[in-house]
Structure 1
Amino acid sequence: MRIRIVDAFTDRPFAGNPAGVLLLDALPDGTWAYPEDAWLQHVAMEVNHAETAFAHRLPEGGEADWALRWFTPATEVNLCGHATLATAHVLHSTGAHPGRVRFATRSGVLVATPEPDGSITLDFPTAPLREVPVPDGVAEGLGARPLAAFDTGPNVGDLLVELADEKTVLSLAPDHRALGAHSARGVIATARADNPARGYDFVSRCFFPNVGIDEDPVTGSAHTALAPYWAERLGRTALTGLQASARSGRVRTELHGERTLLGGRAVTVIDGELRARPDQAVGSQSTFPASSA
């Protein structure tokens, strides 16, 4: 089957966040009985990007058009922005689904809409933020002392911390193993932009050791927490975030109460053929976490 590598939240190759995308053949009833979860996890491990997305078309007339799941090299996750953007880009650019597309996911129905400028807007659930005391060890793990800390809820599963300024975020050299003790997925570090005239309002970096990703290049799901956080502090619902990883990328955000719109572009970098068939036995020496889907 066809497999693609798509760089998301960027308009040029080798930037943003790369994701694997596979469009699977569905059974007549639209179930996930084929292929098995272990095979999906093996493919994600082979691709070895932050996430690999697997999608298949659903029967017409339902609340969603395609089913969508996301796997890191280590486990399945509940929500992923950049791989959703990458999947929508593949559907639109190949003509498989050229218009607005609704995805059935672990986090409910997510909608992707192509825009006239070539970007794609994702409609995601807003993360519920709850302020918590800064956990012991976070400052040492980051190498910087947070001003405040927030739990981002079960879908995102991160600890969001605000740091003193943009320079502090950019200069972090964290102890990833130490950060893994403080949330289900990892830590989002953020600060207000030093100079909004550069085209972004806040900066962030995301460290997710618990799902096998020391630093994620550009994280759409994290912006469902960053958007309400900075909207309240900056007094505007429409903002742009810069995720300042080595690859870097920008995410447009617009807060609409319980929903957050995330906007960006994507570029297909590799389009090839996956030759390991789903009916072939997977390696017996590896074990995989059981899926709760």
Structure 2
Amino acid sequence: MEIPMFTVDAFTNLPFKGNPAAVCLIENELPEELYQKIAAEMNLSETAFVRKLKSTDYFCSGSRFGLRWFTPTNEIALCGHATMASAAVLFYRKENSNPEVVFETLSGQLRVRQHGESLVMDFPLNKPEVQDLNKFNKLLKAAVGDLPVQEVCYCKTTKKLLVRLADTCQRSALTSLSPVPETLLKTENSGRVKSVIITIKGAPNSQPGYDFFSRNFAPWNGIPEDPVTGSAHTVLAAYWSEKLGKKKMLAYQCSRRGGELELELRDDARVDISGRAVVIIQGTLKL
């Protein structure tokens, strides 16, 4: 069996920045255990599998495909950067002739369209609910140490815990965080939390005018830190839109690699997440 495989850096226009994802193009469903083995071998935060839905479809001309995402340890229900990476492969390497492609996923239909040099993903908006800080004392201590926390919210749909640091915290406080994955796992083992998003308010009046900053830690999915996370921004967009009174926002995820996301909330409880992507590796898996 030969499977076309690509590595794509998403949410960036520069190689070795943003968030890398592996993308595999498959003709039919694989044996279930093989998905996980390939993802573990790729050892990136996510590996995406783009599958033809009909034997008559072609990656260069089809408009609808199946899509699944796997971390090195498990399958997940929603992944932004690997969706963008999948669309980048179809548009940039397969020269797909459609203005938009639709992926059928565990999170429903996800549409991705080209807009200039960017790719725009149509994603569900996931609003988090405010929580009592005392319920997460140990996890907060493990994640942010003694930094002041202004608010904690939880999104049941995505199992993401959003931690907003006090507005007195500078961006440097966020970038200097280094939570220990094993400590996070030890302090939260109920299965309720699958990632911790830490965020601070930005400075939209400065250049380039980021509305907020964030980082995302997900050792529960085998990812100590996810460099740039589209799914986290379905939660962040809902939270910060309400706090800032804005429907259009510019966000930056402050991992070592870093990445920029443009967000626009729509009236149908969905959000457009825009960014750029660079295909840096193309090859073949021979199994």
Q: TM-score, normalised by structure 1?
A: 0.86
Q: Percent identity between the aligned chains?
A: 38
Aligned-partner Cα distance in 2 for 1:173–1:196: 29
Query: Does the aligned pair in 2 maintain the 1:179–1:186 contact within 8 Å?
Result: no
1:208 and 2:228 are equivalent in the alignment: no
Aligned partner of 1:16 among 18, 41, 44? 18
Distance in 1 (alpha carbons) for counterparts of 2:253 and 2:224? 15
Stretches (4+) displaced over 3 A: none
1:119-148 per-residue CA deviation (whole Å, 9 max, x = no partner) reads: 100001101211111212133112134211
Secondary structure of the 1:39 match is helix
Q: How many Å apart are 1:76 and its aligned residue?
A: 0.2
The amino acid across from 2:34 in the alignment is W
More strand by share: 2
1:16-47 Cα offsets, whole Å, 9 max, x none, are 00000011013xxxxx3xx1121111110011
Pick aligned residue for 1:171 from 169, 173, 176: 176
CA distance in 2, matches of 1:72, 1:274: 18
CA distance in 1, matches of 2:112, 2:156: 23
Q: Map 1:1-293; keep pairs closer than 5 Å.
A: 1-26=3-28, 32=29, 35-59=30-54, 65-93=64-92, 94-96=94-96, 98-115=98-115, 117-134=116-133, 135-142=136-143, 143=145, 144-154=147-157, 156-164=158-166, 165=169, 166-180=171-185, 181=188, 183-194=192-203, 196-199=205-208, 200-257=210-267, 258-276=269-287
Contact 2:127 2:239 in 1 (8 A): no
State whether residues 51 and 65 of structure 2, in contact with CA within 8 Å, keep that contact through their aligned partners in structure 1: yes
Secondary structure of the equivalent of 2:178?
coil
d(CA) in 2 for partners of 1:3, 1:167: 37
Q: Which one is further off, 138-147 or 199-208?
A: 138-147
1:287 aligns with none
Q: 1:152 and 1:254 mapped to 2: Cα distance? A: 19
Report if aligned partners of 2:123, 2:272 keep a CA contact under 8 Å in 1.
yes
User: Aligned to 2:137, what secondary structure does the other structure show?
Assistant: coil
CA contact (8 A) 1:129 1:151 kept: yes
SS, match of residue 274 in structure 1: strand
By how many angstroms is 1:67 displaced? 0.4
For each residue in 1:174-199, what CA deviation from the matched residue of structure 2 results, as whole angstroms up to 9, or x when unmatched? 13233331743110000011464232
Unaligned runs of 5+ in 2: 58-62
| Matches of 1:98 and 1:220, distance apart in 2 | 23
Match of 2:85, as an amino acid?
A: A
Shift in Å at residue 266 of structure 1? 0.4
Residue 179 of structure 1 contacts residue 187 of structure 1 at CA under 8 Å; is this kept in 2? no
Between stretches 161-170 and 73-82, larger displacement belongs to 161-170
Alpha carbons of 1:107 and 1:149: their partners in 2 closer, same or farther (altered >3 Å)? same
CA distance in 2, matches of 1:184, 1:44: 22
- In 2, Cα distance between equivalents of 1:170 and 1:2: 36
CA distance in 2, matches of 1:158, 1:224: 10
The residue identity in structure 1 corresponding to 2:138 is G
